[in-house]
Amino acid sequence: MRKYSVFAIAREAMRAHKGWEAQWTSPEPRSSYDVIIVGAGGHGLGAAYYLAKEHGITNVAVIEKGWLGGGNTGRNTTIIRSNYLYEESMDIYEHSLKLWEGLSQELNYNVMYSPRGVMMLSHNIHDQQSFKRHINANRLYGIDNEWLTPEQAKAFVPVLDISKTARYAINGAALQRRGGTARHDAVAWGYARAAADRGVHIIQNCEVTGIRRGPGGEVQGVETSKGFIGANKVGVSAAGHSSVVMEMAGVRVPLHSNPLQALVSEPLKPIFPCVVMSNTVHAYISQSDKGELVIGAGTDQYNSYSQTGGLQIITHTLDAICELFPIFRRVKMMRQWGGITDNTPDRSPIQGVTPVPGLFVNCGWGTGGFKATPGSANLFAHLIAKGEPHKLASGLNLDRFRTGRLIDEAAAAAVAH
Amino acid sequence: MLLIHCPYCEEDRSELEFRWAGEAHIARPENIAAISDEEFAEFFFLRNNEKGLTYERWRHIHGCGRFFNAARDTVSDRFLMTYKAGLPKQPIPVASKAAAIAEEKTVETWEATEGDAR
């Protein structure tokens, strides 16, 4: 792999940019690998990269039904933060945030991580108490998070309406300055390039149709649309389709797949300096580097794999955006899409071993998986390589639904995610 | 937005009047204190989450207020039928199955709809 640098740009500029090489190859699958990862999103590609880099396991295939990064990695609103309430959550999201900070350098790929701040609006006394509890928990754990008065919030985001007569008046906000956004495609592409450089096979347009198990119940490999591919270790990182893939091995996981929608506006001049989210009236908004307002809506209430959602969900979000930021009322929305999120009963992810020897699972990231991409991938690689979870991810096991040791971010999180 | 047929009101009403209420036909264990942790986890947390035909409960919360069951395709979101609570799992009528398959084959593109109209 040739390194990207200012000198590379200069060199290619001299020869009409004809020397750029493909970022990753598309090889035919071998008959077997040491490890197979199902799902080439950020989490799966990242896990393959860390397997190769940190654990020396390079005989790895990442198998993808569609195209690389075309699922939720390419459909989310790219919000990064780590201000969760419980230690299990703070551990993994903060691990992830620290990896984000050095990711562009590490991958030699500009993932455009931008720590522009994530602000959560408080609209009532319950929000205020909940956010302050989060802030205190975070600060005690060494994670930055601070309380702002409405005036301070307005100073940070000048277009915010803080008047007392506003329909959704605010009484303060929580701000995590290290939170922000990154470029979603670049994360998948950067990991794919770095993993392929270390010998990982990325096999796109290849659907896993079954998981083959031996006489002892152990994993022997996967049946795919390109034939059987053997491996003693299979990691499933299939987001909204995790239930479907796990069912192939006879493992039931406590997931609901729900559509989640997002939309972007026409490009505007820079006007919005950070990410603002409001749980109470349900709005997420930031501005991409291209100038589009990126807006996240809510999930639909029912299980679905349709990658579309109801229009009433979007209009509900836009109602709130127009009230909070009256200046955006005449902005036109350009594109809208949906992804399928995999939600657990306690709204915390599942990463761990399964009852099937050799089968590992990384799922349940629900509506908030993008921010966790590097951390989740890093710890998933550890899990697959060692056969047991890293201590930062040990609480995320599948067994917690039997033992009752849930990580109840559903009730306690500042937002649904 | 979905259009849902309430089997009690016998009307198609908008999704805004309804609340989804999870997988249908799950029987609560008779003596819940006696079951093992595994059985409890199974009953309480594990759901089928099917891709394709699913049986689920809905509640007409802003209408008659009653729970009922529905069979729906989770890929097309099309309702195949709805039926009253308490009835056993209903087989899917052949006609609605065929209609669902026909609908799946219909690919609506801009050219096929707006484009032709112009």
- pLDDT tens per residue, range A160-199: 999 999 999 999 999 999 999 999 999 999 999 999 999 9
Determine how β-strand A60-63 pairs with β-strand A201-203: parallel
Report the distance separating Cα B68 and Cα A340, nearest Å. Answer: 25
Using DSSP's 3-state secondary structure scheme, residue A146 falls into: strand
Give me the pLDDT at residue B108, please: 56
Using DSSP's 3-state secondary structure scheme, residue B40 falls into: helix
Give me the pLDDT at residue B72, please: 95
Residue B118 in domain: no
ipTM above 0.85, yes or no: yes
Q: How confident is the model at residue A414 (pLDDT cuts 50, 70, 90)?
A: very low
Q: Each residue of A99-128: pLDDT tens digit?
A: 999 999 999 999 999 999 999 999 999 999
B54: CATH = 3.30.2270.10
Asked if A252 and A259 touch (Cβ cutoff 8 Å), the reply is: no
pLDDT surpasses 60 at A310: yes
Q: What residue of A is the nearest CA neighbor of B50?
A: A244
Asked if A255's CB is within 8 angstroms of B19's CB, the reply is no
Give me the pLDDT at residue A8, please: 95
Residue B31 in domain: yes
**What value, to the nearest 5°, has the Cα angle with vertex A235 and ends A45 and A180?**
40
Residue B88 in domain: yes
Chain B partners within 8 Å of A312 (Cβ): 1, 15-16
pLDDT surpasses 70 at A242: yes
Mean pLDDT of A355-372: 96
- In this prediction the pTM is 0.93
- Burial (CB < 10 A; 0-12, 13-18, 19+), residue A169, is middle
Give me the pLDDT at residue B106, please: 56
According to DSSP, residue B11 is labeled: E
pLDDT surpasses 50 at A6: yes
Measure CA of the first residue to CA of the last residue in chain A; give whole Å: 37
**CB-closest option in A257, A306, A311 to B77:** A306
Give me the pLDDT at residue B117, please: 53
Buried b (16+ CB within 10 A) or exposed e, A92-106: bbbbbbebbeebbee
Residue B10 in domain: yes
Residue B44 in domain: yes
Residue B32 in domain: yes
Q: At what angle do helices A87-107 and A184-197 cross, to 10 degrees?
A: 70
* Six-digit token string for A110: 């500009």
Give me the pLDDT at residue A411, please: 57
Measure CA of the first residue to CA of the last residue in chain B; give whole Å: 27
Q: How confident is the model at residue A1 (pLDDT cuts 50, 70, 90)?
A: confident
Residue B35 in domain: yes
Residue B80 in domain: yes
The residues, any chain, with a CB within 8 Å of residue A287's CB and separated by 6 or more, are A268, A270, A271, A272, A273, A293, A294
Asked if A256's CB is within 8 angstroms of B49's CB, the reply is yes
pLDDT surpasses 70 at A245: yes
Asked if B20's CB is within 8 angstroms of A301's CB, the reply is yes
Give me the pLDDT at residue B115, please: 55
Chain A partners within 8 Å of B54 (Cβ): 303
Give me the pLDDT at residue A345, please: 92
The residues, any chain, with a CB within 8 Å of residue A94's CB and separated by 6 or more, are A82, A141, A142, A143, A375
The total of other beta-carbon atoms located within 10 Å of residue A225's CB is 11
pLDDT surpasses 80 at A296: yes
Beta strands in B1-118 (DSSP E): 3-6, 11-14, 19-23, 53-59, 67-73, 79-84
Asked if A302's CB is within 8 angstroms of B56's CB, the reply is yes
Q: How confident is the model at residue A417 (pLDDT cuts 50, 70, 90)?
A: very low
Q: How confident is the model at residue A233 (pLDDT cuts 50, 70, 90)?
A: very high
Using DSSP's 3-state secondary structure scheme, residue B56 falls into: strand
Which residues span the domain enclosing B43?
Answer: 3-113
Average pLDDT, chain A: 95
Mean pLDDT of A268-291: 94
Number of domains in chain B: 1
Using 50 as the pLDDT threshold, list the residues of chain B that sit under it.
Answer: none
Residue A353, φ and ψ in degrees, nearest 5: -75, 165
